[in-house]
Structure 1
Amino acid sequence: MKTTFAIKFKNTMLEFLALFGRKPQKFLAIDFSQALTGIIYVESSGDGLKLLAYDIQKVLPAGARNEETAVNFIKAFLEKNSIEEKDVLLSISDVDSVVIKFLTMPFIPEKEIRGAAKWKLRDVIPFDLEQSVIDWQFVGDYVDEEGTKNRGMIFIVAMKEIIDHYLLIVNKCNLDPLGITGSSFNYANLLPYVPNNPKVSAVLDVDYKGSTLSIYSNNKLNFVRRLPISWEKLTQSLTEVIVSGEGKIELSRDEAENIENTFGIPEDEKQVVQDKVQATQVISLLRPLLEALVRDLKFSFQYFASNFNSEAPASLYLAGGGSHLKNLDKYLGKELDLPVSYLLLPACVDVQILNKEKLAESDQKKIINALGAAFSGPGAINLLPPKVRAKKEEQIQRMVLRLSAMTGAAIFFLLLLSAQFQVHDYKNRVKNAQVHLKAIAEINELRSKIQLKEDLVEKIREKRTPVAGVLKVISVFVPPELVLEELSLDQGRHDLTLKGTISAVENVAEEILINFMQRLESSPFFDEVGLVSSQRAEPVQKFEISVELGY
């Protein structure tokens, strides 16, 4: 349960990182086969890849596992191409150390699959299952003759000793393994990019010591069978003694490999292949192996169609180091009566950065497995041991937690800034509202005064002096020190007499009185304001004013 959660968490986080373009774009892929070690350096580019660099090294002697040689080869490649990236995908193309098997399993909880598979695999795996690494993929659901629903699954089992060997190599190169896969699964990643690829197709991977036939339905691996033909056996067959009218001829291993690469399966039987060696003699040496290969392929196709309730493969692709036997594609195409071609780089692989419009076909064949591994996506087969996976998942979880903390802090900071901005905004709004309220109050006050004056003017126009209105107008101009004691209004003469006192010393009182009279006179409602009397009566100044109304 914990492992399942961690894997789902990892995939979810990788999708999250991809939204921000933070998923690692450049990485390495290394294919370890029995005869070759191929390494590529690629960059993700949309739905394809950019091939930035590659190299190939022969394993000598073939089938040997020389740790030091492999480490030196990889380090030299990294140094030559100034590569700082550490992420690497591994592919193990070793038929002696890796077994792929289709099994029909009942519907059981995922945590029980491994145990049930070991029980079924114990008789078909040539090495100790307890010292192995196992992974699987679902193929499809099937209903047997009794109506029971079962699940078809492809299992891959690898010797832990071999896995540890290759992990030690990459660790010594300071590389970080992302995953380990196998050739049959790599080819499934490439088939979607093959033009006009049929629904059911097959790939024949000819390696140094053996061959693997993989059959795919809808580009998904369904069936795997090991075949006896190999590059080693083809080479050995050509080193056998040739008896002719001119005596016995025996080719060396180098001469045999040269014939395989240069002439392969001769198309012209009259052709002289090398010195006194005729094409017919080469064909006679290769015929037993080739005919056995054709029989095995036909039987495998028929078996698949019959047992998987499917059509037979409509196309065959060749891959692996032993597939370089010249004209092998033409020979198999004729004998099997179906299209046969080499599995080469898909069009979505950009090689322009290498200053080559098109890679040599021989190089494409040698790095095709590593490229297939580079196209691995979520849910791909992964033979990393459980301890290594757990360690990587812990690293990912720590990275996720670190990223989550940083994201949380960033969100909190943004929320804090937003809150401060809103507080500042609301303060400005309150301040503006207060200014508006003050302006409105002043406007209302002014409107009240204007309304009083308008009412007064209207009544005056009606030839009637409103006493209340006159008092309101006068009250606006009365200063605090001045007290009106008497007001006499003559409606007929439109005269107004004001009497009162001013609480101030004499000179100040006179100044206040003058200002009061000037303010009255400035009003449009009073035409003339005159001082009748002003005398000192300690502690106040008494006065009398005569005002002539303007209406």
Structure 2
Amino acid sequence: MSEIGIYFGSKLITIVETKGRRVMKHVQIPQSQIIGVGFEEEKVPEELKLVSVLKETLQKNEFDQKEAAICVSGKDLIIRTFDMPFIPGNELISAVNFEAKKYIPFKIEDLISDFQTQADKVGKRNFILFVGIKKETLDKYLSVFNELNIKISGMEYSAFSLLRLVHMAGIKEKGIISILGVDLKEDDEANFLVLRNGFPLFSRDIIFSGDSPLTSFEGIQIDPALKLEKLKAELRISLDFYNRKFPSQKIDSIFFISSNEFKAELELYVKERGLVSKFIDSEKFLGKTSTYSLSLLKAYSSSLSPAIRPKTRIDLLQAKSKVQLAQTTAIRHGFAFSLSALKINPKAVFFALAIWALPNLYGYYKKTPLNNELRMVTGQRIQIPGIGATLNYEALKQVTLKYNTKAAVINKLLNNQVYLTEIIDAIPRNMPKGLWLGSLDFKNDRAEKDRHELVLAGYAYLEQRDKELESINDLASALKSDPVFSKYFKYIVIQSIERTSDRDKNKELSTFTIYCRTY
């Protein structure tokens, strides 16, 4: 019988079908294909896009299994390790959850979590491996596979899936060893694990590019040589951090799950760090014809979960089922307890009914005359068109508010209206002999209540240019001195004076423009 393993990576989704331990077929889906899938609605939930692409891929490649094991990248999980004193089994769950709160950035109630312990009998302490996933993230995966009509047989951290390759390679897990899964050509996260007798002490994910699924497939590929340098730097950071956290737990050797292309460089680097390096041959699992792919190995390892059970037994699906069962049981027990404890006392029932009935009857007795008076007053109302006689107080308040709003709008229009008759009358009263207006332009700024402008354009003819200039200046000065005009227009200035010819009368005259504004 064949099995399916699916790896949900940050940049790739990989599906593998195996029979026994042999790869039958596999397919990879770029995450960018899911983001760019064509939907008319822009705000289509990610789950629906994922369902659409997965369904099409499974049908096209003839994957017809109804059950699949999945593994997810570290970005979807919270993985922490810490130690605690020996605690009785009935108190362990609550104690672990309480301790885990110190190491996670959000509420423990928002997680579905599971943990595994390793006893240190000498130090009388428990070492805890805690793994959690946000409820909304887990529900997304469950929703997707429910739509695909595929049962999830198990969900695990992709780095833990790779431990099956360690088992298949015949590597003894006794002592302290580290595992590094890396692919310098495929833009997947690298995983660094440290194991003590097969139990994870420390884990870290190494990202080579941005978190966006579009980075690798629609952007510029990162050169493998640059990735190798970043891997060395990140490995140094990981080892230094591990040695500070576990100074007495020295790593014996590092096992690489990687292609052979950069084997020499990695061996040299690890040797400089004083460690022994060993490489796990992936061709034993994928075959010599397959190109090395870390995401393919993760999906392959996940598909082997029914056959190979690693020492790391974290089951997030079972943890979710336990939470749901506990909630259902608590509701049932609470309801059963409330019914069994309920005893009916006739006297108490009669007393309760009396307490309820007496105030209601008294209230009805007191309201009756008031209601009669209200109906009489309502009937005597003056009939006003558009206002019903039966309107209550709240309805009348709404009518009043409506009319007040209209009145306020009318008042605003009236108050903001500019009356220019008296102001404009000041112009001819101050106009010197030999000057006359050609045009008058008034501008009202509707956005600003008190910002208005007036432009006076006219002519001057006194046979001599000097006298014409003097008369134009006299007009500007007279307007500035006029109490009515200057009260409204604060700024008055001669904007231009030019000489022009009157062709009809064959005369030279002056044109002028006086600019006035209220601000």
TM-score, length-normalised on structure 2? 0.50
Offset, 1:136: 1.6
Does 1:120 pair with 2:105? no
Task: Show the counterpart of 1:367.
Answer: 296
Q: Deviations over 1:375-425 (max 9, x none)?
A: 335573211164546899xxxxxxxxxxxxxxxxxxxxxxxxxxxxxxxxx
Task: Show the counterpart of 1:185.
Answer: 160
For 1:380, the aligned partner's letter is: R
Inter-CA distance 375–103: structure 2 relative to 1 (3 Å threshold): farther
Task: Show the counterpart of 1:166.
Answer: 141
Structure 1 distance, partners of 2:93, 2:233, is: 36
**What secondary structure, in the 3-state scheme, does the structure 2 residue paired with 1:166 have?**
helix
For 2:25, the aligned partner's letter is: A
For 1:314, the aligned partner's letter is: S
Structure 2 distance, partners of 1:298, 1:128, is: 30
Task: Show the counterpart of 1:230.
Answer: 207
Task: Show the counterpart of 2:250.
Answer: 311
Offset, 1:221: 2.1
Inter-CA distance 230–299: structure 2 relative to 1 (3 Å threshold): same
Q: Deviations over 1:176-223 (max 9, x none)?
A: 111211123212222122255674332335696965421123333222
Inter-CA distance 127–36: structure 2 relative to 1 (3 Å threshold): farther
Structure 2 distance, partners of 1:209, 1:374, is: 19
Structure 2 distance, partners of 1:107, 1:40, is: 42
- Retained in 2: the 8 A contact 1:35–1:62? no
Of the candidates 102, 113, 116, which is equivalent to residue 137 of structure 1? 116
**What secondary structure, in the 3-state scheme, does the structure 2 residue paired with 1:60 have?**
helix
Structure 2 distance, partners of 1:131, 1:372, is: 29
Offset, 1:98: 0.8
1:513-524 alignment runs, 5 A limit: none
Inter-CA distance 68–373: structure 2 relative to 1 (3 Å threshold): same
**What secondary structure, in the 3-state scheme, does the structure 1 residue paired with 2:292 have?**
helix
- Retained in 1: the 8 A contact 2:177–2:196? yes
Offset, 1:359: 4.1
For 1:203, the aligned partner's letter is: I
Task: Show the counterpart of 1:59.
Answer: 31
Inter-CA distance 83–211: structure 2 relative to 1 (3 Å threshold): closer
Task: Show the counterpart of 2:11.
Answer: 35
> Considering only aligned residues, what root-mean-square deviation do their CA atoms show, in Å?
3.9
Inter-CA distance 62–173: structure 2 relative to 1 (3 Å threshold): closer
Q: Deviations over 1:77-120 (max 9, x none)?
A: 4323444431111211132x312111213333444322211211
Q: Deviations over 1:281-303 (max 9, x none)?
A: x69xx85x455324313314534
For 1:56, the aligned partner's letter is: Q
Structure 1 distance, partners of 2:182, 2:50, is: 22
Structure 2 distance, partners of 1:111, 1:185, is: 28
Does 1:86 pair with 2:66? yes
Inter-CA distance 123–70: structure 2 relative to 1 (3 Å threshold): same
Task: Show the counterpart of 2:151.
Answer: 176
Inter-CA distance 313–168: structure 2 relative to 1 (3 Å threshold): farther
Structure 2 gap segments, 5+ residues each = 37-44, 326-519
Structure 1 gap segments, 5+ residues each = 1-24, 240-251, 266-281, 352-356, 393-551
For 1:105, the aligned partner's letter is: M
For 2:79, the aligned partner's letter is: I
Task: Show the counterpart of 1:103.
Answer: 82
**What secondary structure, in the 3-state scheme, does the structure 1 residue paired with 2:162 have?**
helix
Structure 2 distance, partners of 1:182, 1:63, is: 23
1:462-481 alignment runs, 5 A limit: none
Task: Show the counterpart of 2:500.
Answer: none
For 2:314, the aligned partner's letter is: I
Inter-CA distance 370–290: structure 2 relative to 1 (3 Å threshold): closer
Structure 2 distance, partners of 1:137, 1:112, is: 14
- Retained in 2: the 8 A contact 1:34–1:63? no
For 2:313, the aligned partner's letter is: A
For 2:234, the aligned partner's letter is: L
Structure 2 distance, partners of 1:117, 1:327, is: 43
Structure 2 distance, partners of 1:161, 1:178, is: 19
Structure 2 distance, partners of 1:26, 1:391, is: 31
For 2:237, the aligned partner's letter is: D
Offset, 1:164: 0.9
- Retained in 2: the 8 A contact 1:135–1:156? yes
Task: Show the counterpart of 2:379.
Answer: none
Offset, 1:173: 0.7
How high is the sequence identity, in percent, across the aligned residues? Answer: 21
Inter-CA distance 389–183: structure 2 relative to 1 (3 Å threshold): same
Structure 2 distance, partners of 1:188, 1:30, is: 16
Total equivalences in the alignment = 305
For 1:367, the aligned partner's letter is: L
Inter-CA distance 140–327: structure 2 relative to 1 (3 Å threshold): farther
- Retained in 2: the 8 A contact 1:304–1:312? no
TM-score, length-normalised on structure 1? 0.48
Of the candidates 265, 268, 273, which is equivalent to residue 334 of structure 1? 268
Structure 2 distance, partners of 1:198, 1:192, is: 8
